[in-house]
Chain A
Amino acid sequence: GAVVSQHPSRVICKSGTSVKIECRSLDFQATTMFWYRQFPKQSLMLMATSNEGSKATYEQGVEKDKFLINHASLTLSTLTVTSAHPEDSSFYICSATRIAETSDDEQFFGPGTRLTVL
Chain B
Amino acid sequence: LAKTTQPISMDSYEGQEVNITCSHNNIATNDYITWYQQFPSQGPRFIIQGYKTKVTNEVASLFIPADRKSSTLSLPRVSLSDTAVYYCLVGAYSGGYQKVTFGIGTKLQVIP
Cβ–Cβ contact B102 & A44, under 8 A: yes
B84: Cβ under 8 A from any A Cβ: no
The answer to whether A32 and B97 touch (CB under 8 A), given A43-B87, A43-B102, is yes
Inter-chain contacts of A104 with B (CB < 8 A): 32, 49, 51, 93
Q: Is the interface of A mostly helix, strand, loop or mixed?
A: strand
Inter-chain contacts of B98 with A (CB < 8 A): 97, 105-107
The answer to whether A31 and B96 touch (CB under 8 A), given A43-B103, A109-B43, A112-B42, is yes
Residue of B34, B92, B96, B103 ringed by the most chain A CB atoms within 10 A: B96
Q: Encode contact with A along B23-62: 1 for CB under 8 Å, 0 otherwise.
A: 0000000101010100001111110010100000000000
B10: Cβ under 8 A from any A Cβ: no
Inter-chain contacts of B101 with A (CB < 8 A): 46
Inter-chain contacts of B100 with A (CB < 8 A): 46, 107
B77: Cβ under 8 A from any A Cβ: no
B69: Cβ under 8 A from any A Cβ: no
A contacts with B, residue count (CB < 8 A):
29
Cβ–Cβ contact B30 & A97, under 8 A: no
Cβ–Cβ contact A103 & B97, under 8 A: no
Cβ–Cβ contact B102 & A103, under 8 A: no
Cβ–Cβ contact A106 & B34, under 8 A: yes
- Residues of B4-27 contacting chain A, CB below 8 A: none
Cβ–Cβ contact B99 & A103, under 8 A: no
A7: Cβ under 8 A from any B Cβ: no
Interface residues of B (CB under 8 A from A): 30, 32, 34, 36, 41-46, 49, 51, 87, 92-93, 96-105
**23 residue pairs bridging A and B, Cβ less than 8 Å apart:** A6-B43, A32-B96, A34-B99, A43-B87, A43-B105, A44-B44, A45-B102, A46-B102, A51-B97, A95-B44, A100-B93, A100-B96, A103-B93, A105-B98, A106-B34, A106-B49, A107-B100, A109-B36, A109-B44, A110-B43, A111-B42, A112-B41, A112-B43
